[in-house]
Structure formats: structure tokens, C-alpha cells
Structure 1
Amino acid sequence: MESIQSWVSEHKLTSIGALWASAIGASLAYSRAKSPLKPSLRLIHARMHAQALTLAVLSSAAAYHYYEQRTTGEPKNN
């Protein structure tokens, strides 16, 4: 678990991009199996789902970063 956390900490943008791409794929696969929408609407819905998930992950990462700085007392890294 710690090795995954350190990798994600070092590769933040890569991990967020991978999460976004996998959310798009999962949403497209789910909507293909469950709803009779046109492909363009499926893509729009998949993008919206992926954006919502990305915003949730970015918010969680910001909260974690804030919590980590408060507990360790380290200065900001800009």
C-alpha cells in the first residue's frame, strides 16, 4: 500500500489521467450494455461521468495534501 501511495504522490498527473481514461472506458462499456443511446450521447455521458470522478479525486487529493501538511508541520512546496 505504501509503494502505491508513494508512486501516486510522485506521478500525480499520470495517475489522474489514467483514472480519467479508465472512467471513460468503464462508463462507455456500462452504457453500451444498459442503454439504447446513440454513440454520441454515450460519449457525452461518459465524459461527464469521468469529469465528475476526476473532480472528486482532485478534491480528495487537495484535502489529503492539506491534512498531511497540517499534521507534519512542513512548509508548502510551491
Structure 2
Amino acid sequence: MAEAPTPSKIESARKWIVDHKLRAVGSLWLTGIGSSIAYNWSRPHMKTSVKLIHARMHAQALTLAAIAGSGLVEYYDKEYGSSGPKVDRYTRQYVAHSHKD
């Protein structure tokens, strides 16, 4: 009996990102704004308002990059293979538990 090959770390990460796009973008955004605030706070010659503006701009740029990356992952997944239809997974639970009035 042959065992299924274990997926690589990159393949596992790609699958997680495909399944949790919003969580991945949100995590990237929080990490980006946190590190940007930490970096800007280490620069004492800037006003607080300028530090916050710079942190927000960095976070927006990271968010756009994450959304573009998510779009590329979605395109790659659609073009070169998918883990199965995601819509059916959610519709089956409602069809199986439909209540008749």
C-alpha cells in the first residue's frame, strides 16, 4: 500500500493562503503597521503625526501588495489546478440541513 506524498512546505503555505486569504492579508497588514510604527518611533526627530502618517502609508502599500499577491495565487490556483470547488463545500452544508416549513 503506497502512501500519499507529503506536500512541501511551500505547497502547504500556498494552500493555507488560498484557504485563508483575508486572514493572510490582515496578518500582513498588522505586521506591517506594527513594524512601521516601531521603526518610526525609533526616529526621535519626527513629530507623532508624521510617524502615524508614515506607518499608515507603509501599511497601505503592504495591503495592496498582499491583495495583488492574493490575486496572483487565485489566478495560479484557477489556471494550474485547484483543491476542488470551494462553493460546493459551503452549499452542501445548507442543502443537507434544509428545513421544510
Give the shorter-chain TM-score range. 0.7 to 0.9
Contact 2:33 2:55 in 1 (8 A): yes
**Structure 2 residue aligned with 1:16:** 25
The superposition leaves residues 15-56 of structure 1 with CA deviations (integer Å, 9 ceiling, x where unpaired) of 211110110110111111135211121111101101101101
Distance 1:62 1:12 in 2: 9
Consecutive unaligned residues in structure 1, runs of 5 or more: none
Distance 1:45 1:19 in 2: 17
**Structure 1 residue aligned with 2:40:** 31
**Structure 1 residue aligned with 2:16:** 7
TM superposition score normalised by structure 1: 0.77
**Structure 2 residue aligned with 1:47:** 56
* Sequence identity percentage: 42
TM superposition score normalised by structure 2: 0.62
Bigger fraction of residues in helix: 1
Aligned residues: 77
Deviation of 1:66 (Å): 1.2
Is residue 66 from structure 1 mapped to residue 75 from structure 2 by the alignment?
Answer: yes
Distance 2:81 2:13 in 1: 20
Letter in 1 for 2:41: R
Larger radius of gyration: 2
